[in-house]
Each structure stands twice: as structure tokens, then as C-alpha cells.
Structure 1
Amino acid sequence: MRFTSFLLAGTAIASSSAAIAADQLKFGPLPSWVAEQPVPPASDKVKDRPVALLLHDQQNLLEPGKISTYSELAFKIQKPEGLAAGNLSITWNPAFDSVTVNRLEVRRGNQVIDVLKSGQTFTTMRRESNLELAMLDGMLTANIQPEGLQEGDVVELATTTEHVDPVLKGHVEANFAPWGGAQIGLAHARIVWPSNVSLKFQKMGDLPAPQQSAADGKKLYELTMRDIEPVIDPKGAPIRFKIGRMGEASDFGSWADAARLMAPLYRETAVIPASGPLRDEVEKIRKASADPKVRAQQALQLVQDRVRYVALLMGQGGYVPASAETTWSRRFGDCKAKTALLLAVLHELGIQAEPVLANPILGDAIGDGLPMIGLFNHVLVRAHVANKAYWLDGTRSGDSDLDSIEVPDFGWGLPLIENAQLVHMVPAPRNSPSAERRVDVDATAGAYASAPVTIQEIYRGDSAVQMNAAYASLSSDQRDEQMRDKARGYFDTFSTSSSTLQFDKIKRELEIKIQGTAKLNWKDGWLYVPTSSIGFDPDFDRPAGPLHDVPVEVSHPRFAKDVATLKLPAGLASGQKLDPAVHETLAGVEYLRTETVSGDTLTVESSERSIAPEVPYKEALAAVPRLRALNKDDVYLRLSDQYRPTDGDVAALKEQAPQSLNEYLIRAGAYLAHDQLDAALADLNAALALDPRNVWALLKRAWIRAARHEFADADQDIAALESVEPGSAEVIGTRAYLAEMKGDFETATKEYSKLIDRDPKNKFAHTRRGLSYAAAGKTAEAIQDLTALIAADPKDYGSLLNRATIEAGANKLTDAAKDVQAALALKPNDPAVLSSAGRLAEQQGDYRLAVEYFSKQVDAQKASPYFPTLGETPVIGIGGAFAARANAYWILGDY
């Protein structure tokens, strides 16, 4: 169990006095000013816990020049898992602190074991916990593990720490009562100070009203709580609402007083010597440009790029910066040293600038607290050029453009100027994306064919610098593997052919580019468009309580933009149903998404941009339904039943053996579209072996068998269909087609009529019945069916051609010619229309016109990768077009 100043002793800073710091522990009785508290028994509320915290007692004596902190912790080991709590550590700063151990006892029933008198001792060591962050704090840790600890033992540890820091010249401040994180039987805090010290107090959370008194020239402030429960932080709230229970004490009258104390430390150290290497660097910048903005940029680069970061916090290093000259000669320094160096250079170049104290983690909470120096753990520079403030941080790297430096997201900062007040440090919403993803897919070869894919990711600003540093630390093989993993995050089947990383130091921009191929995952005929998701599934629910309705924190600043571009097979993009554009602000974030189609290319652009660091709770709750709706409303493409697989699809599907029923059905459909009936039949047989009652497979196999005049087998498939879906439209339609193939047109027309009775708009039934009527010699009935279709859709050129064929067969050439011309007006370059026009011209005896139409048909078919079948349109293949044209030439004698 770590016995730290944050948990028990709080934080204190005292004025100048004789140094009392020590690098070894002392041992002695409780100080006379301490009011000892009884250790309560463990409550039934915590009987199931491995460790029960019985007492947390912190008492402070604040005197000019010194602050003494008495801390006592008592806990009971209730289960074997709790024995690890016996690992006790005390941490202190030997430059300012002297620690006395007042008591270390183990109570076992009525027995009291004095651990220190039993011969055990603390082991003291210096452990730098942040070496990997180039931070040296000089803290010492004393550790002891009492021997023989048992389940049921109560451990009590009490220490007194005397703290002196001459830098702060008599000012004192302290945190106390940090009781938000654990169940505590008795929590006690007591502050004692001389009456002539003006001390202010502030409580956070549900700390009780204090008991206050004064006697013998001293004042007393005391808090007590019993059987307290941990504080549940309000979910999603800014950090200032997550402090929990905490007390503050400070003798600073204002933030200006605090700034007035710290400012001289930087005035004294931010000095350029009259001569020497640092002076030479300043003069180089001065000569390079007279523009103060350029000079400020070069000064920042000098500090960021040529002085590495190392924090030396030992001794007075916690608050006092090294001098500018010292830092330049060392070529390393912490935030204070780098700030002093940068200030020195800027001031020497005539640029107004001041240091600003900050806290990158807890800065949001500073505005609600008392003036305290201990709240800050960072410092940077605010420079003023041409009436604009620039935030320059020497510990960053790569800031090559002042205008691109955002206001740091530090909450509140304290400028070290006269009459200082806190300044709010919150970045503005970004005007350009800090992260972009672009995915380009070329699926023109087919929906199932392997598609070339290019993935591009662009990162800007701090994330670009950090990611570039991370990638630079990898070997080329490691980097390549990460690129492959990244690409597979977009497409499971992605095969990488190349990947590149390019970092632009000036722009602070990292571009990642991955190229390769992938097969698109059409799951049940739907394809998710990568990067198209926006919104999320928020959980803003909070339990009732005093902080129930505090604001909700927004990830800010953030601006991410995504673009997905898919080049699709002919006709697939135009057939998509596009979702309405999204442009709305929800819970502090602006969401945009658009879907557009241009030719055979579909593009989805989306973005999410924060506009504020937090939003009111009610506003966040009101946005929940819409955010969840957007989260579910991803963009999907539909592979319609009318999609005709390409040659590339067939080739791709043929290469890979199906692994499931659905894959067999998909490939069978592709084979059918290309009249590869044997291959289609094989896959349908395989599918039906897996699922003998699959309707689609039975239906297609029955049609193939009917077309091949394998009527007995077709009848078996229809019977199987009937057992699965008796009386269904599929069964009736298949039975009608089988009759049509048998030449039983009377039965065919009766069955098609059943479909029309169910659905008078059934185009398939009207078309097939019309053709069956025509085959049976019932021209009037045939024309009537097709006329009904044309009346419903005057642009139905397939029905126009079918009616023209029937009319021509009845020698109604004038009517046929009108229908053919109407079809030509709709589809002047369609091979089927041109074929019908050529055949009619032949029938009319105009062979030169027939040659003209057949020649156009040949040209149209040469320009198309495949010859589409449109509904029930009669189609003549390119070989037929050549033959028809040759026949017309022969009649004309042109051979």
C-alpha cells in the first residue's frame, strides 16, 4: 500500500527557514499539536473486502516557513488477498522534506506488535519512476513489509513530514481530505495555523461543514466523516467534476499574488549574455529577418529542435528554471528551462512574451480552486506578434508554422505578469481536418472480381509527429506488417502490393498510402462502404446525485474526414438508392455525410468536427436517439437481382471453390447469366445437396431442365418446390414455363393467368402469357397483354419489340414498324433493338436498311463486354448479327 502525500498528507509549500530536509527517516513520538484519533472497528459494510480502510487521518500545522503534516493510516486485512497491502512505502523529497515515523504497529486481537521495536527496519532507495520520460525528481522511497502478517491483523502507520521550500517566501498552501476514492471507516482532517496568517479554505464534493475555533494564538479547521463511500464520478464529465472530495487551503490573496511570486524566477534566468555561443545564435536570427513573426518562429525552432527535453526536478528544480545560458550550454532542459531560454531569445529580439503556468491534465479544474502554485506542473510561453497571441511550448517538437499552432487544451493557465488573472486555454474548432482517410476501389471488372484498392491516410499536427516517430522506430518488416494489418482493417481479404509513408516536417503532415487488391464482401447482397460510418452509441446515463446534470465532455478539438470512392460495374451505381445528406450538430459535434453518383462511380464523403469542449447534459441527452440512429445507418450498396455478373465475376468465382450454400448460389447465378448451364447446374446440385429445400436452387434447376426439355426432371423439381411453398408464385410461374417449353400453350396461359390474377401488374406473367398466346396463334390476345404493359410503361422498349415481333408475324408490318421506331427512339444503340429493326427491314424487303441496322448492331456489340438480356427481349448474339448482315448482303448481291 503506497503511503503517498496525495493519498494522506496532501501537498504543502512553506516559506524560507533553516533547511530541515533529510535523506533518512527519523523516528519519534507524535507531535504535541496532533489530536490523536481512535481507530474504529471494521464496519459490516466492508466485511467482504480483502482490506478494510479503518482510519484516514491527516493533520497539518501551517507556519510561516514550514508546514508539518501528520498522516495516519489504519487498515484491516480481512482476506488472504489483502495481505499484499502490507507492502508499505513512504515517499518524500529530500531537498525539502524531513520524515519522522511516529508509529508502525500491528494489532492482532488484544496483542499490539511494535514492528520497529521487533528489529525490522525500512529500506530507503531512490527510484526514478519516470526515467523513460527523461524526468529526474530525486524522490526517495522507504519501504517495509511487516513480517508475519495474518488475516485479521490491523496495521497502523503514522508519520510526520516537515516541509520547507525557501523559493515560495513564506506562502503556504495545502490539499487535504482526499476522500473520494475509497470506503473509509473514519476520515479526519485538521488544519492548525497561527492567527496572524490569513488562510482561505475551500471544500469540493460533499465534505461536511468544518468545526472552527481559535485559542492560544492559533486557529483550527477540522473535518470528520464516518463510514464514507467512494465518490462515483459523473460519467463523461469534464475533469473539474471528477475531483471528488478534496479540501484546499491557501494564503495567496489572489492569482495575481501567486504570479507576482513566480515571475521574478523567469526575469532572473531569461537573460542572454553579452557574448558567447547563445548571443551568437540570437544575432543569427536577428540578421536572418526583420519580421518579428519569422524571428519568433526561428526562436521556437532553436529551443524545440536543438535543446532536448530532460527534467531535473531535484533541489530547487521543481520551481526554479535553469538560466538561459546554462540550458544552451547543456543542450537539455525541462519545461521551465526551455521557457526561460525561449523568453530570453524573444525579449532580446524585441518580441513581447511572458511565461504561463499550466496543468495539461487537471487544468480544467484550476478555475474553480483557490490560488495555489502547487496546482501547476507545466509552463510555456505566450508571445505577442502583430496583435496576435501565439502559444509557444519549448517541450514540443516540429512547430514550423506559428499560425498552425493551436491554443493548447490546458483548461486554465496563469500568466506571470502584473495584475495577472487566469486565462482560459481552450482550442478553437478546427477549420481543416487533422485526420483524413480516402479509400478508392476500382470494381469495374465485377462485383465479385478482385478489385484494385488504394488506401490513403493523412494525419496533421501533433498526431502526425507522434505517429511518424513511432513508425520511425520500427524495422521495415515491422512497418510493412503494420501496413498490412491496417489495410485488413478496411478489407478482410486485402492483399498488399505496396505501402509508403511520407512525413512533411514543415507541414507536420504524415501520409500513409497502401495499394493492393481485395474482394468485396457482398454479404447477402449488401456491401458496407468503408469509412462511411458516423455517429456512435452514446451512454450518457448517470445515477441521481448532485452532479447528475453537469456538462458532458466532448473530444475536442477533433476534425476527421473520410472519402470512399467506388467505381462499380456498368449500371450498378446508378441503380443505388442514395440516402439523404446528413448535416447536423449533435452533442457538440458537427456531422456531415453525402452520397453522390457520377456515371458508374459512387462517392461517400463524411466528417465529424467538434465545435465545443463540452455541452450541457440536457443537450447531450436530447442527441442520444439521433446519434444512435446515425450509428446504425451505415452506407450499404445493394447488389440487385438484376445485376448481371461480368466475365471478371465469373472468372473470379470460378477460381475459388464455394465454401457455403450461399457461395454456391452466387456462382450458379453468375454461370446462368453467362449461359454456362452445365456449370450452373453443377453448383445448383451442390447447393441442393446442402439444402434440398432451397427454393431458389430448385427454381433455377427446374427452369434449366425445362429449357433443355428434361421434362421429367423438371417435374420433380416443381414437385419439390410445391412441398416447400405450395401454391406460391414461384411454383406457378415455373409450372407455366415448363408447359410453355412442352408446347402446351393452353396450360401455360392458364398458369400465367393465375399469376396475373394475384398481381395484375406482374410484368413477367403478362410477357410470358403474351408470347404463349402468340405461339398458340392467338395474336389478338398476345397483343392485348403486351399493349397493357406498354400502357403501364411507355418506355418499356422490350415490350415494344415483343409486340413488334408478334405484329410482324401477323403481317401487320405498319404497326410493327411504329413499335420498332418507338424502341429506336428510346434505345438507338441497343443491339436487341437494332436486331429487330434489321429483321423488320428484311421482312419489308429493304435489305440495304437491314444491312445498316445489322452493321450498327455489330458495332454496338463489339463495344460492350457482354450482351445484356433485358426482360423478355429477344436477343440475337453477335454471331447472329454477322449472319443476318451476310444474308442481307447476299440477297443484295453484295458478296
Structure 2
Amino acid sequence: MHKSIAALPLLAVAISAPAHAGEEPLYQPAPAWVEEADVQTVLSDDGPATLLYDWQHRLEDGVAWVYHDWVQRIDNPQSLMQANTQTLQWLPDKGDLIVHRMDIIRDGEVIDLLDQGVTLDVLRREQGLEQRLLDGSLTATVSVPGLREGDMLRIAHTISTDDQALGDEVQAVQYLPSEPWQVGTARAVMSWPADEDILWGVEDRVGLEQPELRDGYRFLTVDLPLAEADPVPQDAPSRYLRPAILRAGSFSDWQEVSAVMAPHYDAAAEAGSGSDVAGLARDIMARADDPLERAALAVRLVQDEVSYLLNGLDGGNYLPQSAEETWDVRYGDCKAKSVLLLSLLRQMNIDAEPVLVSTQMGDAIPELLPLPAAFNHVIVHAMIDGTDYWLDGTSSATRLATIGDVPPFHYALPLREGGADLVPMQQRDLAVPQMRMVMNVDHSAGVDLPALMALEFRLSGPAAAQMQAMVDADNPAMLQQMARSMAGQGNSQMQVSALNVSYDEDAAVATIEVEGILPPYFEWTDGRLRSSVDTGDQFAEFNPDRARPAWRDIPVATQGPMRQSFDLTMMLPQQGDGFSLEGDRQMEAGFGNMRFTSSASIAGGEMRAAAEAFGLLGEIAPEDLPQARRSFREIANRSLELVPPEDVTWRWKLSDSQRAERAAPILEAYGKAIEFAEDDDFGALIGRARFLGSIYDFNASLKDFDALIAEQPSAWAYTQRSWLHRTKGDYEAVLDDLQSAYELEYANGTALNIARELAYLGRIEEARELLGSLVVSDDERLAHKDMLATVAAIDGQLEVARQFIADAVADAPQSAAALNSDCWFRGLWNIGLEDGLEVCTQSIERASNAAAALDSRALINFRLGDYPSAIADLDGALAISPGLAESHYLRGLAKLHAGVDGAEDDLTVALRMAPHLEDFYTRHGIVAP
């Protein structure tokens, strides 16, 4: 047989019960059955520092013994510190810790510490109380006296285990380390009497010969480390990923495991009619007539009224405490909680039984050697009206609505008189979503203004129970931290103005309510205004790697169970007039064990979208992977866009009063967000400052940036404020802020802006000195030469300036950016216009976004007096980027010169967005007729 279980620590774990139970270590020679290693053959001053690991197991007469011999070379101070304190653990109610050797080998001499009277101290404090663990083990510890760097430390000991729960049965497991684990010499040996029926198993990748018969015993020997395992994809089922473990035991099959364990649970679940447990059952029956509702109430009682504590004392590793004791002390581990639940259900005449499960290796269980050690958890299986229910007393928030959910354990072993085989835990859809998100968005202010949001998350199941502690804590700071984590980053940042968390204990539902401000949903890209509609079906990439020939027959594990739902209602701008949906409005699709549904519609000035996703625990067979990939790609490539009409009203077209009216509720929300935020969280203040700038209330925006810089100065904040000073024509303040930004962050881009401001203020030499001091990368060369040209032109040295631009173009003759710099320079400084249009056209043809180049060519056409061509170019620029204030301004001037209607509208819009443009263009002689 070649089977398996979960990973174990390097020290072997032998599971049985006390031959000579003792709470103090014994100091005796190694048992006669141990074949002690010849340590002299493994001692070495080089190579791996761990010189020996020798594990030897003996299974005999229902007792499991494990002998461990270890030698470590102390190479350095860190190794000395680690090796100086040694600890050994054992279960005193099941067996003994017997120490055979504690030697220091120094310069070939053996210093016998046991012979010198060194002993181990037993720690009486339980080591795992903080993790709710009371496993019954004792820890013996010793600080090795006299250990030095350069020594070799050897410790050999044996632990016996005679487990009360297993009776005459026995089991042992030994983890088999693989390369790249380094050791001088290592082995694992498993032995048992030839006349005892012991079965053994190990993973298929470990090639072991049949046990060797010697002196009436059978021996399995494994030299370690094993060769490194072939790589396996991490999305494979657990049975493909499990480590190599050697197992042995006296159980013939799963039925025998079930039959041996069942009586302990049946006995522990017994409760007399006058017991408190029977009284609890009567109370439940008085509250509900329906058996399923009664079961849900029983599960809730066990989950909520009995705290978790792993109790391994007095055989507790496998023996459960009684239902009456559990209710009396109000704590217990999974065994105790399951026994209490089992007792309650049986008192109510509900068909129920305990079952063993594995929380980590579920899909591998059928391939393992039948041992109790294959499992690490106990739950209850109930049959009600012909339906299987898998009830976990150590979980949380189980209610009538969710009692049918199947936990992710794959297989269960029922514990029944006479025994039972493994039972697959058939998966089914969760009865209610684990998370439901309901989102209401008010986007009525406009396509280019922020949206107000009210978001509600409803969590059910264990995730909801975790939120109960937050509700009970009633800590505003905790809510602020949650809001901060939800805000996001960059342009997608949401500002939270209110957040509340509540918990409904009867429904076991946690509700998180969030209010806030979202950036506009709509984006203008390449002349198109669109919004991608997220209906909750955007999932991580599904592309399992099975390219290697050895992987092609490996399934893909799917996680679950999972169920989530999403509902969105959006109040549209302009009462929804002209808005439409393009793409797949309805979908029913899936891949593997995932399934999705979604829908979207527009009616009554609102867009509504809904989606639901289901996922089941399981796997995708190799032959089904191609279709699963295709199905995923179809879902991933699905698109749904919300499309506004062509005649949307941009914010710059609104009157001041209209804009103020639409902005008022948004500003009110920002005010609440600022008040709600933590003292060191300036996200909402930044958001309001930027919003105020975007609606052209520059004074108010400046006030917010003043406050921000006073509290949290940064290069970014100074740079933003410098632009606000520019709108007011305060160029000295612009320069001051740019210089403050540069002091905080030496960025060449900031230095170039400082040089420009110095030059326009007449401080030409300072500008040149600054530009000359910069270390410029290849990517920055164009901007640097462009600024050298600007400074020279401001100083009246136009030919020198033109040469800088020519050099920049020569460096990158095909660069749209370089060509546009040349085009713009010619138009701004009214020089080289003769062949300038050709340069501009080349830039337009090469640009991925031609708006800037079209604006530059329009300026040359303007200079040439070709106002219709200038207007045409500016129309093109604004068709690509409607918010270009410079293009609006120049188009207004061109219309004035051409006598075309609409000039005042363009000029008003431009100066609304950027009041400084008139001053800028005027100083360059670009003025109205």
C-alpha cells in the first residue's frame, strides 16, 4: 500500500497511549530494539551542520515508540544561541519521555552531561493557551551547560505512546524530508513484530522495498533526504501537493477506524432525561416544531454558548469530554462541541452521528492509509427529511438560512457502531450569498463631476461573525481605519463621509454601510465618452499552467463554496436622456465550477445592474480544461458600456450658479468626509481641494491647499498650489511654491518649471544657472532643451533658441513630442512660420493623441492669418480633448479675427478654466483684433 496524510513537523509524531505514563522524564539507555548509529562515522568539520537525524519507530502490543537521535555541529554564535536551549515534548497521560544521551563532543572527546547530573526541567505552563490550545503535552527543557562554538551536540531520546482511545490498535506517522534539506546522515526506520497485522503506506514518489524480515520483526528503512519532488502546479488538488509521509498502523480499513472511535462519542453524548443537556433540548423543542429549525437552534447554542478550547488532557487528543461536562464548563474543542451538538440532536430525535474530516487534505483522504491520524477535525452529520446536513459546532453564525451549507472538507468518516466507509460530502450552492453588495450612485450632477455613493455590504456566515467584535468594540478609530483602507489610491480614490457597522445576531448578518464620494464614472478617451459597467463578474485570470507533459493529467482545484451578489442603481446625468447601454446586457455563463448571471437596463433616468456568482469546491478534470479556458475568455472579453449622448453638458459650459447648485451636495459630502477622517488622513481634504479647482472655485481650492500644506507639506501639494497662484496672476507666489517643492523633492521637471518662471520674471541668469546644474537623463533631454530654448527666447536670443529646438528634433527626428515642441515654439515666438506647418503636420501624423499637435498647428495658422484653418485645427483638438482651455481660448481669438460666431463663448469658457491664459497669450502678442 502507498497512501498519505498532511505534513508533519520534522520530529516524528507517533500516536498511541501510555505504556508507563509519567510526568517526569526518565533517564535510561536506549531500548534494545534500537539500532544506534555509529556517530564516529558521521562526525565532520565541514558539510552540513546537522550531522545526524535518526528516527526509529517500533509498533508492538498496541504501543508506538519513536526513538530520535540528533547530532548538530555548532559553527557560529547564532548556531550556539539556537542550540543552547533544547526542548522535548510528550503526552504524559499516554506514555513516557526517556532520555538516553546528552553529549558534547569536543576535539574527539565525549562529555556525558547526563553522567554529570544534568537533567531537564519540566515546564508546567501549557504552551498554547493563547491559541486556545490545552493539548495535555508537557515540555522538558534544558540549557546545555558549557556548550561552545566548535562543539558537536548529541541528544537521543524515546517517546512511548499508548493511546487510550485506540485500545489495542496502534498507529505511527513519520515525515520524510526531501532535498534541498541538508544533513550529513539521516534515516527513518519503522518496525513491528512479524506476527502483528501492521499495514504501511507512503506516497507513490517514494520507492520503498517490501519490509525486511529480521529476528521476528519486519523493518522498513528509508534513507534521507529523499530526492527533491518534481514540481507540481500550485492549483492542483491537495492529493498532488502533499508531502512524503511514511505511515503504519494496525487498522485494516476505514470501517475499523470508524468502529474503534465510535463508542467514545456515543458514550460521551449520553445524557439522562434530568440532565442540563436534556433540558436544553426541551427548551429548543418548545421554541420550534420543525426539526430543521430545531437543529439550527442547537448549532447556534453550541457555537455561541460554548467557547473553543482544545483540551488534550487525559486522553483528550482522541477522547471527547462528555456533553454534560462541556455544557458545565462552557468550553471545549471540536470533539466536545460535536458531542454536545450530537447529544442535543439525539435528545430531539434527529438522526445524527459524529464524522471525522480533514480541513487540509480532504480530497486526498481516500488515498491515505486508514488511520485516525488522517483527520484533524470532528463535525456532526444529520439527516433531516432526506437531506444531508453537515454541522460544525466550532464554526460560527450558522442559522436556519445557512444550515444547509456544506463545509469544504471533501470527505467524512461517520463514526458508527460496526464501522462505516468514507462518505463524499456532496457540494451544493450556498443558500444565501456570503457577501451581498448593494450600491446606489447619484451621478445626476454631470458626467464630469463626482458621484455620491451609498454602499451596503451584507455579510453572512463566519465572515459576518468576525464583524460582531467590531460592533461590540464601538471604536470610531477602527471605523476610520476601515474607511481609509476602502478609499483606494490615485484617480480612483473614494472618499468616505460616513461608515457604520451593525450586526443582527438573530440573522447572523453583518451590515457595513458606507457613504462617500466617487470620481466620475465616465472617461473621455480618443474622442469617446464611455463608462465600463462592472456587474461583478470581473475575476482573476484563469489560465492553469499544464504545458509540461507531466502536468497534463493533473486536475485544477477549485475553491468553494462561494456565493456573492451585486446590485447597482445609478441616477444618470440629464435624467438619463440619450444614455444607452452597448454590449451584453444579459449573461448566464460559467467555467469549471464557477457560474455567473448578470443583467443591466436603463429606465426612468436610472441604470440598474445586477450580478450573482456561484462557486463550488471541487476540481476541473484535465479533459475539461480547454473548454473551461474558452468559457473564461468569453466572460473576460464580455463588455458592457454606459454611453452618454453626444450633446452632454460639460461642467465648463454651466453658468456659475448652475455649477454651484450641482456642486453643493458634493461639497457637503466632502465636508463630512473631512470631519470623519482620522487626524492624519488628508485624503478627503485633497479630494475637496482638487474638486474645487475642477469647478473653477480657485480661491476656495487655494484655501484648502493652504491648510493641507500647513499640516502635511509635500512637493505635490506645493506644485498644485503653484498652479492656483498662476490663475490669480501671482507669479512670485508661483515661483515660491515651485522652489519649495524642489527643496522637498529634487525632480528635474520641477527645476524646469522654476527656470521658466525665473526667465519670465527677468531673472535669466538664474534660470540658465539652474538648467546648467541639472543631470539630465535621455528621457529628459527633450524637455531640457525645450526649456533652454524658452529661456533664450525670453532673453531675445531667438536664433540660439531655435538651435536648441533643432538639436532636440535632431536627437529624435521621428518623435511626435519633439516635432510638436518645434511646432509650438515657432507659433509662440512667431518665427520660422514658412516651413512650420510641415513640421506640425508630421507631429500630428505621428502622435497617438494629436490634440496638442493640432493646437500647436492652429497657433501657426493663426500667426499666418489663416483663421479658418486655425479654427478647423482647434475643432479637431477639442474633439479629442474637450477640456483644453488653451484651445478654447485660441479658437475664441481666431473666431474674433475671422468674424465667426461663438467667440465670446469660447473665451468665457477658457478664462473660466484658466484665467491666466489672457495674460500669457497677450505677452506673446496673441490678442484679439
- Corresponding residue number in structure 1 for 2:540: 536
Counterpart CA distance in 2 for 1:721 and 1:656 is 39
What's the secondary structure of 2:299's corresponding residue? helix
| Mapping 1:184-203, distance limit 5 Å | 184-203=183-202
Q: How does 1:538-617 map to 2 (within 5 A)?
A: 540-541=544-545, 550-570=554-574, 578=582, 580=584, 584-586=589-591, 588-590=593-595, 608-616=613-621
Q: Out of 117, 128, 150, which is 2:126 matched to?
A: 128
Residue 370 of structure 1 and its aligned partner are, at CA, apart by 1.3
Q: How far apart, CA to CA, are the structure 2 residues paired with 1:577 and 1:295?
A: 49
> What whole-Å deviation, never above 9, does each CA across 1:519-561 have from its counterpart, x for those lacking one?
4498886998696672324685589696785333322122334
Give 2:66's match in structure 1, choosing from 65, 69, 74: 69
Instruction: Kindly state the Cα deviation for residue 387 of structure 1 after the two structures are TM-superposed.
Output: 1.0
Other structure's SS at 1:300 match: helix
Q: Which residue of 1 aligns with 2:391?
A: 392
Q: Which segment is superposed worse, 376-385 or 568-577?
A: 568-577
Report the 3-state secondary structure (helix = DSSP H, G, I; strand = E; otherwise coil) of the residue aligned with 1:97. Answer: coil
Counterpart code for 2:614: R
- Given that residues 240 and 364 in structure 1 are in contact (C-alpha distance below 8 angstroms), is that contact kept between their aligned partners in structure 2? yes
1:658-807 correspondence runs (5 A)? 725=840, 730=854
Moved more, 193-202 or 100-109: 100-109
How far does the alpha carbon of each residue in 1:800-825 deviate from its partner, in whole angstroms, 9 at most, with x for none? xx9xx9xxxxxxxxxxxxxxxxxxxx
Describe the shift of the 1:69–1:229 C-alpha distance in structure 2 as closer, same or farther (beyond 3 A): same
* C-alpha separation in 2, matches of 1:732 and 1:5: 73
Measured after TM superposition, the shift of residue 433 of structure 1 is 2.8
Match of 1:104 in 2: 102
Secondary structure of the residue that 1:410 maps to in structure 2? coil
Alignment pair present for 1:644 and 2:653: no
Cα gap change, 1:618 to 1:471, in 2 (>3 Å): farther
Provide the secondary structure at the position in 2 that maps to 1:11: strand
Question: Identity, % of aligned pairs?
Answer: 26
1:13 aligns with 2:16: yes
Q: Which residue of 2 aligns with 1:472?
A: 472
- Supply the distance in 2 between the matched residues of 1:247 and 1:652 (Cα, whole angstroms): 75
> What amino acid is aligned across from residue 98 of structure 2 in structure 1?
T
Letter in 1 for 2:472: A
Tell me the distance in 2 between the aligned counterparts of 1:632 and 1:153. 65
**Number of the residue aligned with 1:115:** 113
Q: Report deviation, 1:56.
A: 2.3
Q: Deviations over 1:235-282 (max 9, x none)?
A: 233333332211111111111111111111122222231324433333
Query: Distance in 1 between the 2:200 and 2:547 partners?
Result: 29
Query: Are 1:279 and 2:282 an aligned pair?
Result: no
Q: Which residue identity lines up with residue 656 of structure 1 in the other structure? A: S
Match of 1:366 in 2: 365
Distance 1:198 1:399, change over 3 A: same
Task: Name the Cα RMSD after superposition.
Answer: 5.3
> How does 1:223-242 map onto structure 2 within 5 Å?
223-225=222-224, 228-229=227-228, 234-242=233-241
User: Paired residue for 2:308?
Assistant: 309
SS of equivalent to 1:321: coil
1:135 maps to amino acid: L
Distance 1:263 1:227 in 2: 37
- The Cα of 1:563 is off from its aligned counterpart by 4.5
Match of 2:353 in 1: 354
Indicate if the aligned counterparts of 2:42 and 2:52 stay in contact, CA closer than 8 A: no
Deviations 1:147-183 (Å, cap 9, x if unpaired)?
Answer: 4545554332211112122331110111124324733
* Superposition map of 1:510-529 within 5 A: 510-520=510-520
| Residue number in structure 1 paired with 2:177 | 179
Alpha-carbon displacement from aligned partner over 1:755-807 (angstroms, at most 9, x marks no partner)? 99xxxxxxxxxxxxxxx99x999xxxxxxxxxxxxxxxxxxxxxxxx9xx9xx
After superposition, the Cα gap between the structure-2 partners of 1:347 and 1:587, relative to the gap in structure 1 and judged at 3 Å, is: closer
- Partner residue, 1:256: 255
Cα displacement (A) at 1:733: 5.0
Whole-Å separation in 1 of the counterparts to 2:194 and 2:499: 71
Over residues 392-430 of structure 1, what are the superposed CA-to-partner deviations in whole Å (9 max), with x where a residue is unaligned?
Answer: 222233322065431111232210123401112354243
**SS of structure 2 residue aligned to 1:384:** strand
Report SS of the residue matched to 1:656. helix
- Alignment check: 8 A CA contact 1:439 1:564 kept: yes
Structure 2 Cα separation of the partners of residues 717 and 608 of structure 1: 63
Corresponding position of 1:817: none
CA drift of 1:447 comes to 4.6
Q: Distance in 2 between matches of 1:295 and 1:521?
A: 48
Equivalent residues of 1:233, 1:244 under 8 A apart: no
Tell me the distance in 2 between the aligned counterparts of 1:493 and 1:374: 50
Residue equivalent to 1:505? 505
**Inter-CA distance 144–267: structure 2 relative to 1 (3 Å threshold):** same
Q: In structure 2, what is the equivalent of residue 32 of structure 1?
A: 32
Higher deviation after alignment, 396-405 or 723-732: 723-732
Q: Structure 1 counterpart of 2:590, which letter?
A: T
CA distance in 2, matches of 1:142, 1:258: 32
1: distance between equivalents of 2:723 and 2:582?
A: 25
Distance change >3 Å, CA 38–CA 567, structure 1 → 2: farther
Q: 1:595 to 1:467 in 2, by over 3 A?
A: same
Given the superposition, is the C-alpha separation of residues 510 and 287 from structure 1 closer, same or farther in structure 2, using an over 3 Å criterion? closer
Structure 2 SS opposite 1:158: strand
| C-alpha distance in 1 between matches for 2:556 and 2:86 | 38
CA contact (8 A) 1:208 1:224 kept: no
| Distance change >3 Å, CA 162–CA 645, structure 1 → 2 | same
Residues 1:328 and 1:607: Cα distance change in structure 2 (over 3 Å): closer
Instruction: Output the amino acid matched with 1:138.
Output: G
Q: Where in structure 2 are the equivalents of 1:318-329 lying within 5 Å?
A: 318-329=317-328
Instruction: Tell me which moved more, 52-61 or 89-98.
Output: 52-61
In structure 2, what is the Cα distance between the partners aligned to 1:620 and 1:717?
A: 64
Deviation of 1:576 after TM superposition, in Å, equals: 8.1
Q: Could you tell me the TM-score, scaled by structure 1's length?
A: 0.69
Offset, 1:57: 1.8
On the 8 A contact 1:308/1:331 being kept in 2, the answer is yes
**TM-score normalized with structure 2 length:** 0.67
Q: Match for 2:272: what amino acid?
A: P
Task: Say if 1:288 and 1:570 are closer, same or farther in 2 by CA, change over 3 A.
Answer: closer
For 1:572 and 1:562, locate their aligned partners in 2 and report how far apart those are by CA, in whole Å: 22
- Residue identity matched to 1:445: A
Tell me the amino acid that sits aligned with residue 100 of structure 2: N
- 1: distance between equivalents of 2:414 and 2:199? 22
Query: What CA distance in whole angstroms lies between the structure 2 residues aligned with 1:210 and 1:10?
Result: 23
Distance 1:753 1:512, change over 3 A: closer
Of stretches 536-545 and 98-107 in structure 1, the one that deviates more from structure 2 is 536-545
Measured in 1, the distance between the counterparts of 2:139 and 2:481 equals 43
1:304 alignment partner, SS class: helix
Amino acid at match of 2:10: L
Q: Which moved more, 1:570-579 or 1:215-224?
A: 570-579
Equivalent residue, structure 2, for 1:707: none
Tell me the distance in 2 between the aligned counterparts of 1:222 and 1:447: 74
**How big is each residue's C-alpha offset from its partner over 1:109-164, in whole Å with a ceiling of 9 and x where there is no partner?**
42333333455432221343332343311211112243454555433221111212
Distance 2:437 2:193 in 1: 63
Q: Using the alignment, how far apart are the partners of 2:62 and 2:384 within structure 1?
A: 41
Between the aligned partners of 1:251 and 1:171, the Cα distance in structure 2 is 6
Give the structure with higher Rg (CA): 1
Where does 1:775-854 land on structure 2 (aligned, <5 Å)? none
CA distance in 1, matches of 2:315, 2:898: 108
SS at match of 1:33: coil
Q: Indicate how the Cα distance of structure 1 residues 478 and 602 shifts in structure 2: closer, same or farther if over 3 A, else same.
A: same
User: 2:50, 2:183 within 8 Å by CA — same for their partners in 1?
Assistant: yes
Structure 1 unmatched ranges of 5 or more:
672-685, 704-711, 741-746, 757-771, 778-801, 806-831, 833-865, 868-895
Given the superposition, is the C-alpha separation of residues 292 and 190 from structure 1 closer, same or farther in structure 2, using an over 3 Å criterion?
same
Q: CA deviation at 1:84?
A: 4.2
After TM superposition, give the deviation of residue 206 of structure 1 in Å: 2.8
Distance 2:125 2:363 in 1: 30
